Structures are given as C-alpha cells and as structure tokens.
Amino acid sequence: MLQNSDVASLIVLAVGLVLNLFWCPRLSFRSRVSLFPLFLPGWLAPLALVLFCFSELFHYLVLLCFTLLIWVKHKGEDQSQSAMSTPSPLPEMGELKLSVLPKGVLGMLRFWPVLFLFMVLTSMAMSQYPAQGVVTELKSDLETRGLAIVPQWFLLVCILAPLIEEFLFRGVLYPLLKKHVGVFWGCVLSSLAFAVSHQNLRSFVVLFLLGAFLTYSYEKNNNILVPMTSHAFFNALMLGIMLSDVA
C-alpha cells in the first residue's frame, strides 16, 4: 500500500515533468534553476523502494527516461534557436572514443587520496548520522543473500549509476549553468545538486568534492566518457571496500 511519501513522490515527479516539458521554456533561466530540485533523483527513491524489490535499478531506469526527456526537449529548443543564429546552451559532449577511458581511471587514482581523507574525517566527525541508504541496503543484501547479489549491484553501482548521473549532472546541468554563470559557479552549483540528490548529510562533503572533480574532468577533457569512467571506478572502489568489510 502506498504511503504518504510515495504519493508525494508521484506528485512531485508529475509536476516536474509538466513544468519541464511545457512551462519551463517560458521561464527565465534563474526560475528554471530554482525549480531544479523537482528533477533530482532522490525524489523518486521512496516510490521505487516501496513498489519494486529491485528498487535502485528501477530508480535509475526512471531517472534515465526522465533525463532523456529533458535532454530531448532542450535539444529541440536548441535547434529552433540555431535557426535564429543563437548559440546552443548545450555544447557537444566530446568525441566518444574509448581511448579516453584510461584518463578517467588515472584521474580518479590521483584524486582518490583526497576523497579517502575526507571520507575518514567526515565519518569521524559525523558518526551520529546514518550512512547512505544504498550503502545500508547493499550491506543488508550481502548479509542475507551473500555474494550472489554482487553482479546485480555491480551493474547498478558501477555501470548504470555513473552513466545516468554523469549524463544528467555533467552532460546536461553543468553546460546549462556554465553558459549563464560561468565555469566556477557552474561547477559549484552542479556539484551541490549532485551532492544534495543523494540525500545524505554524512557523505555530503565527499560527494560535493567528487562532483567538483568530475566536473573539472569533463571541462578539461570535453568528453563525457572521462568523468563517467572516473565515477564508475570510484563506485567500484567503494563496492570493493564494502565487500571486503562483509567478507
């Protein structure tokens, strides 16, 4: 049976979709940014957790569909603007060559000590706050179902999550912000949105730093595959750490 939070999630999702597809084109950019929380993935989590046993997988699939709708809508606006010789707010995502993948891994290896240091510091300073829901759910699955659950979680955490989140936050949101507020504030605001979307105070600082690094990586390489690879490698490291703890 649906709880109040599930009904609220459905309403927010419906309102956000209507606003983005029909009303947002009439709004100023600043108004669109103020409405961005309606599109954050965390809003979908309560509904997905109740309706589906593979809650996280469903959560990311819905987010992917929603993000694609946003992107297609903006692309349609861009094409109409280009007909009037207006620059497109969404730059190209770079040439999608697999040869750039090592850059993502090496970049994360260099930045990993910084993230690990802040993970240790925030864990000590904010130990009274709960861990991310996905971490708790993964540990619970490992304890109850064992290593048989690992392939499903690998698909979710190391493939789906990086692809979808990087497409949304670095591929769509950051270029829109960059066009209006510049590189620095575009990086700050998109990284804040990335951290807030995970809805966890304990990991907020680490996620903000991760988001800033991924944005820098995207800006430096002009190729969305680089931050996607870094994100996937980071999640794989975290998954490995959790597996070693349970083992």
Residue pLDDT, tens place only, 181-223? 899 999 999 999 888 888 788 889 999 999 999 999 999 988 8
Q: What is the pLDDT of residues 131-180, one digit of tens each?
A: 777 777 777 777 787 777 788 888 888 888 898 888 888 988 898 889 88
**CB of 142 closer than 8 Å to CB of 210:** no
**CB of 186 closer than 8 Å to CB of 177:** yes
Q: What is the pTM (predicted TM-score) of this model?
A: 0.66
Q: Tell me, what amino acid is at 246?
A: V
Helices (H) and strands (E) in the chain, counts: 11, 0
Half-sphere exposure of 86 (CA within 13 A, CB side): 10
111 has a pLDDT exceeding 90: yes
d(CA 69, CA 72): 5
d(CA 20, CA 31): 11
Residue 12 CB neighbours (<10 A)? 18
Q: Rounded to 10 degrees, what is the CA torsion of 54, 209, 179, 42?
A: 30
